[in-house]
Amino acid sequence: MRAASTFFWRRPYWYLALLLVPPLLWFGTVYLGSLFALLAQSFYAIDDFTAQIVREPTLATYKQLVTQPANVDIVLRTLTMAITVTIACAVIALPIATYMARYASGRIKAFFYVGVMLPMWTSYLVKVYAWRLLLAKEGIIAWFLGKLGLTGLLEALLATPGVGGPSLSSSYIGMFLVFVYMWLPFMILPMAAALERVPGSLLQASADLGAKPSQTFRNVVLPLAVPGIAAGSVFTFSLTLGDYIIPSVVGAPGYFIGMMVYVQQGTAGNIPLAAAFSVVPILLIFIYLSIAKRFGAFDAI
Amino acid sequence: MTAAIEFRGVSRIYGELRAVDDVSFAVEPGEFFAMLGPSGSGKTTCLRLVAGFDTPNSGQVLLDGADVSSMPPYERNVNTVFQDYALFPHMTVLENVAYGPRVRGVAKSEREQRAREMLELVQLGAQGERRPAQLSGGQRQRVALARALINRPKVLLLDEPLGALDLKLREEMQIELKSLQKKLGITFVYVTHDQGEALSMADRVAVFNKGRIEQLAAPRELYLRPATPFVARFVGSANVADAALAQKLGFAAAFAIRAENIDVQAESAAAPPDSVVAPGAVVAVQFHGAASRWQVQLDAGEIWSALITEEETRRMNGLGVGTRVNLSWPREAAVPLSSASSG
């Protein structure tokens, strides 16, 4: 035992290697390895007659993805949903996170943190199905709006072409509400963490130099919250891009990327197309991060 | 002449703690005013009350004769140099300095021109495009100064501005700050816990203790004639004899005696005429370069210290830690103290 301790004490690199090899093996083979195995599949194609995978490198599957209008629609639909959900989450989260990080203290602060995380302790499926009931035609939301005499408003909303539908639970509006509900904590928490790191003296300095509270918020608080917003938006954006349960339980019948991956690799047995579809969110996130970087989202970290 | 700042019976209470306790004082226009005290003595709270980051529970804070007790900071014509500098990390140095005019609606070209002038003033003309994180501590200090001065405030508040700098840089900045203040004629209010800094820079010093001002006087006065035991100890590092000890040494009331006025002699040596003698034993001799501090346990109780020049120390053959000595000092060097504070 003592000899072993001395051995590693004298050779710190051996110690480091011993510490790092098991997790790196896991990360490299099990995690990244399977991901690359999946991505490699996207360069194969399926033989239309035999429904067998042809194991020869080809871009045919990608060609199919970008040329078939139905597939392009799926990508655009998912992308639009991800962007709107991200914006809505950011807008709702900012005041809450600001309050949590800068004003609340003690019990109120603990209450808010628990309150934000509490929904995550419940099964995701239960929440999605619960939302379907809440949003249903005879559901509590429609009933409540009826009591308020706002049925007309709801009907006008549902009559909106493109995003409307027969009821909230079978429209893109309903799907949007569920997405925002599900991913809001993932926006609030990084944003609050970013705002907590802003020293109070910066806000005092801003006021001291003559900035009204609204100017301090715009010039100091918001720019310093940007890394938090960027981190949170990566979560909300990628979670929406990849999700297949919410679009299949709530909302209009149009396919989303996640559903397409699920259907193609399962029922249809077209693993190359499923793999090609799963490359799309990766690419979109990559583009999103490049844009965020260009706008200086990570400068102040 | 209207005072630049005036406190009238100001108190600031946090729960049980009386951070500022019925404080009144006035700062003259153009004065370099220091607020000196240990941490938690109320000096920084007073500064925050002037800046407007805090409001008093009772009493009034006046700026230029007008009551500003409940006026928000962005409407006050005072600016602050923060202890941690509080530079905006997402802005360049130039943008930081131009921030004051920017939020007051000054056009971009004009405010950048003014910011460049301010950067020249603090000798950072070439650093405008850099970020605060790329600067050294001393440079950040200067940026904070330029940013606080660009609005041409009536009063500049400095909260331990040199605390984070090393000794040499601190001494350079002390000289610079003082000459800058003379040049601009702005009232400076300087918060520090470093008595040397306060004494060397300020026109007047307010010594804070437990939320109150113990003494407000010019540096020399404060050093030569401390009013209370606390001021004697904190400002002059003086030896203090409370009433009981004073009586044993033949004095009517409590007094202070500065270390440099005390002589250390062998027990057998004859005391100089008209001096007070207190016997004791040496417990430590600390070498400080030009002088050594001799710590002596008095037979009458406390440990006192005597500052002996290096030349004299060399002549004290045979005296050292553990030997018995006599401390002596001229009777008139003792400064009588009011016992208002327990120190």
Q: How far is B150 from chain A (nearest CA, A)?
A: 9
Region of A21 please: left (phi>0), alpha (psi -120 to 50) or beta: alpha
* 3 state DSSP class of A118: helix
Q: Could you give the CA distance from residue A180 to residue A133 in angstroms, rounded to a whole number? A: 17
pLDDT at position B290 is 86
Give the DSSP letter string of A49-109: TT--EE-S--SHHHHHHHHSHHHHHHHHHHHHHHHHHHHHHHHHHHHHHHIIIII--HHHH
Q: Do B300 and B248 contact (CB within 8 A), yes or no?
A: yes
Strands of B211-323 (E only): list them: 212-217, 239-241, 255-257, 263-266, 275-287, 291-298, 303-309
Q: How many domains does chain B have?
A: 2
A209 vs B103: CB contact, 8 Å cut-off?
Answer: yes
Low-confidence ranges of chain B (pLDDT < 70): 339-343
Q: What is the pTM of this model?
A: 0.79
Which of A211, A224, A296 lies closest to B74 in CB terms? A211
- State residue B341's pLDDT score: 47
Distance separating alpha carbons of residues A181 and A58, to the nearest angstrom: 41
Contacts of A219 in chain B (CB under 8 A): 88, 99, 102-103
Contact of B79 with chain A, judged by CB distance below 8 Å, is answered with yes
Which one of B227, B247, B267 terminates a domain?
B227
Distance of alpha carbon B50 from alpha carbon B120, whole angstroms: 28
**Amino acid identity of B246?**
A
Which pLDDT value is given to residue B343? 41
In a domain, residue B323? The reply is yes
B270 shares a domain with B223: no
C-alpha–C-alpha distance, residues A292 and A278, integer Å: 22
Q: Are residues B245 and B212 both part of a single domain?
A: no
Q: Does B84 touch chain A (CB under 8 A)?
A: yes
Query: What distance in Å separates the CA atoms of residue B206 and residue B212, rounded to the nearest whole number?
Result: 10
| Tokens 């009591």 found at | A147
> Which of B84, B89, B103 is closest, CB to CB, to A211?
B103
Q: Please identify which residue in the block is written with the tokens 């639970």.
A: A169
> Of B81, B91, B96, B99, which to mutate for an interface test with A (greatest number of A Cβ within 10 Å)?
B99
Residues A209, B82: C-beta atoms closer than 8 Å: no
CA distance A23 to A54: 34
What's residue B342's pLDDT?
Answer: 45
Q: How far is Cα B63 from Cα B195, in angstroms, rounded to an integer?
A: 26
Report yes or no on A273 lying in a domain.
yes
Q: Show which of B227, B261, B292 is a domain's final residue.
A: B227
What is d(CA A27, CA A119) in angstroms, rounded to the nearest whole number? 30
CA distance A80 to B327: 87
User: Is A202–B151 a contact, with Cβ atoms under 8 angstroms apart?
Assistant: no
CB contact under 8 A, B74 and A199: no
A204–B53: do the CB atoms touch at under 8 Å?
yes
**What residues in B contact A205, CB-CB < 8 Å?**
80, 82, 86-88, 147
Q: Are residues B256 and B126 in the same domain?
A: no
Minimal Cβ distance to B86: which of A202, A215, A219:
A202
Flag whether A41 is in a domain: no
Given CB atoms, is B161 within the 8 Å cutoff of chain A? no
Range of the domain at A124: 69-294
Find the CATH number of the domain harbouring B144: 3.40.50.300
**From the CA of A83, how many Å to the nearest CA of chain B?**
26
Mutate: best of A203, A204, A208, partner B, most B CBs <10 A: A208
Task: Evaluate whether B36 touches B198 at the Cβ level (below 8 Å).
Answer: yes
Same domain, B180 and B285: no
In a domain, B343, yes or no: no
Cα end-to-end distance, chain B, whole Å: 35
CB contact under 8 A, A208 and B72: no
Same domain, B315 and B218: no
**pLDDT on residue A297:** 64
Domain membership flag for residue A62: no
Check whether residue B20 and residue B123 sit in a common domain. yes
Considering its fold, how many domains does chain A have in total? 1
Cα A217 to Cα A195, A203, B155, distances in angstroms: 11, 9, 26
ipTM (interface pTM)? 0.84
B277 shares its domain with B296 = yes
Q: What share of chain B is helix, strand, coil (3-state, %, to 5)?
A: 35, 30, 35
Q: Tell me which of B227, B255, B276 is where a domain ends.
A: B227
Interface contact A208-B79, CB threshold 8 A: yes
Cα separation, A67 vs B98, in Å, equals: 53
Rg (CA), chain B: 24
Residue B342 included in any domain? no
- Give B151's contacts in chain A (Cβ within 8 Å): 209-210
Answer yes or no: is A10 within a domain. no
Boundaries of domain holding B132? 5-227
How many Cβ pairs closer than 8 A exist between chain A and B?
A: 68
Convert A94-103 to b/e letters by CB count within 10 Å (16 or more is b): bebbbebbee
| Contact between chains at B86 and A199 (C-beta distance less than 8 A) | yes
- Is there a single domain that holds both residue B98 and residue B44? yes
User: Is residue B241 located within the same domain as residue B218?
Assistant: no
DSSP code string of A149-161: T-HHHHHHHHTST
Residues B216 and B237 in one domain: no
Q: Are residues B223 and B316 in the same domain?
A: no
Nearest to A224 among B53, B90, B104 (CB): B90
Residue type, B202: A
- What is the CATH classification number for the domain harbouring A178? 1.10.3720.10
Residues B45, B58: Cα–Cα separation, whole Å: 14
CA distance A78 to A276: 15
Tens of pLDDT, residue by residue, chain A (301 residues): 788 888 888 888 888 888 899 899 999 888 899 888 888 888 888 887 777 788 888 888 888 888 888 889 999 999 999 999 999 999 999 999 999 998 888 899 999 999 999 888 889 899 999 999 999 988 899 899 989 988 888 888 888 888 888 888 889 999 999 999 999 999 999 999 989 988 889 999 999 999 999 999 999 988 888 888 888 888 899 899 989 999 999 988 888 998 988 888 887 788 888 899 989 988 998 898 888 777 666 654 4
Return the pLDDT at B340: 52
Q: Domain for residue B37, yes or no?
A: yes
**Four-CA torsion B149, B153, B159, B162, nearest 10 degrees:** 30
* B14: contact with A, CB 8 A cutoff: no
Is A18 part of any domain? no
B93 and B10 fall within a common domain: yes
Which of A209, A212, A300 faces B147 most closely, judged by CB atoms? A209
The average confidence (pLDDT) of chain B is: 90
CB count, 10 Å around CB of B37? 27
Domain for residue A59, yes or no?
Answer: no
